[in-house]
Amino acid sequence: MAWKSRTRSLQVFDTELSADTVEWCPIPQWHNILTCGTYQLQKGQDGAVEGTAAPNRIGRLYLFQFRQEGPMCPPLTELQRIDTPAILDLKWCHVPVSEQPLLGMATANGELQLHTLTANKEGRCDLKPVASADVGEDRLALSLDWSTGRGDSDVRVVASDSAGCLSVLSLGESASVSIISQWKAHQFEAWISAFSYWDTQLIYSGGDDCKLKGWDLRMGPSSPTFTSKRHSMGVCSIHSNPHREHIVATGSYDEQVLLWDGRSMRQPLCESSLGGGVWRLKWHPTHEHLLLAACMHNDFHILHCQQALEGSGESCPILASYILHNSLAYGADWSHMSLDGPLPGSPHEAAEPRECLAESGGHLRIQYESPTASFDTSLEDDAGRYIPECVTSLPTRSGAGVPPRPAADSPSMSCLLASCSFYDHMLHVWRWDWTPEEDSTTEGQGGTGAEDERARSQASALK
């Protein structure tokens, strides 16, 4: 049986400032909440960077709610925007803290900021700052990760910074945060830090010195448990698989995604060449074999890692590619929301149906003109009302060795995702469907190889 893989744009939002990180909330009842962070280097009228001695980096934090309320309403509603220092990374804690979702933010002024998400009786959600900690003077906080990837109740944070240091922070009462350990981990920028979700005393880090390192907090930070030079350029993405023990994915400017068994870090399980530099990697919330990659100069891709996890040694095939961004592919995340059933509202949503944004004059900014020439459908009518996306996306690239089924216990799959790109300051919300293809003569996952190549050539010519 042939299978069809299809990506479809649902909405595009202009963030005004350069967008570099997006995160869906992982807490049940809040799965339809999305945040997006931006980073902008202030420039003068002549184009020079203002205040070259201390560049001014500004940012903005956006809070959205995703809902489907009919064909004439955009699914994404902007709930809040907060002006902040430039944002390098966003991560939700995987478990509630004081019964509320908690968002961590790494900023360009060297702070780790924590915001809590609350909802009032009218169903209005907003973020409120609750705590912050400085990781050091004259440095940028570059990444953060929570220890709670598998529901661990010992809530800690690890952050990396532009001085090559790692900081481990603990949470106190009222979500206060304090540094309990800090050390020099890399010679240059420490682009990424991540917990092992299966043993949260273990931490991984990657830096611009091209090194991937492991650290055991029980042994202290005097020396790493391993140092790998398997990547040939800066290591900028690490994610521990929350469903499969010992499995870690890493990405680098060298355009490679490596899968590792944490018990043996001498040689990766497999190597997959994606192109463009791999800035972010995200394992699927429920499927252990699916990996989302944001590849800077080469779009966003969904990898199928099942055979590699079983020890085949082969590279991971690409199941789908989202190519409608027109700039650096930086932020990407899976939603925990199921598209098979009705989409949830706010946990405290009022019983009355909410008025459609297109009719209520809401302040949501949609980039109605096509961000690329890949599709030219108008998304508003003469009255300015929203018209839902109804064009088929470009065929996705397929890889050799794609398994014949999405999963052993599932005949099909539908996922909601978000991604953002930098210089064109765009946030995209899109869905991916992997379903049986009725026409068994169709090759691959969504099109023939020739169609795939033409589609990607067309998209590349626009960049």
**Residue of 357, 356, 390, 384 whose CA lies nearest to 368:** 384
Token pair listed for 401: 């060795």
Residues 306 and 19: their CA atoms lie apart, in Å, by: 32
What pLDDT was estimated at residue 53? 57
Tens of pLDDT, residue by residue over 39-83, are 999 876 555 555 555 679 999 999 999 987 766 678 999 999 999
Whole-number pLDDT of residue 369 = 31
Which segments in the chain show pLDDT lower than 50? 341-404, 440-463
Q: What is the largest CA-CA distance in the chain?
A: 66
pTM summary value = 0.82
pLDDT at position 407:
52
Task: Indicate the DSSP class of residue 210.
Answer: S
Q: What is the pLDDT of residue 454?
A: 41
Residue located via tokens 């478990």: 95
DSSP 329-383: EEEEEE----SSSPPP--TT--SSPPPPHHHHT----B--S-SSTT-----B-TT
State the pLDDT at residue 410.
56
H-state helical runs in 172-298 = none
Look up residue 203 and give its two tokens. Answer: 């931490």
What values do phi and psi take at 357, rounded to 5?
-60, -40
Chain-centroid distance of CA 9 in Å reads 16
For the domain spanning 3-340+359-461, the CATH number is 2.130.10.10
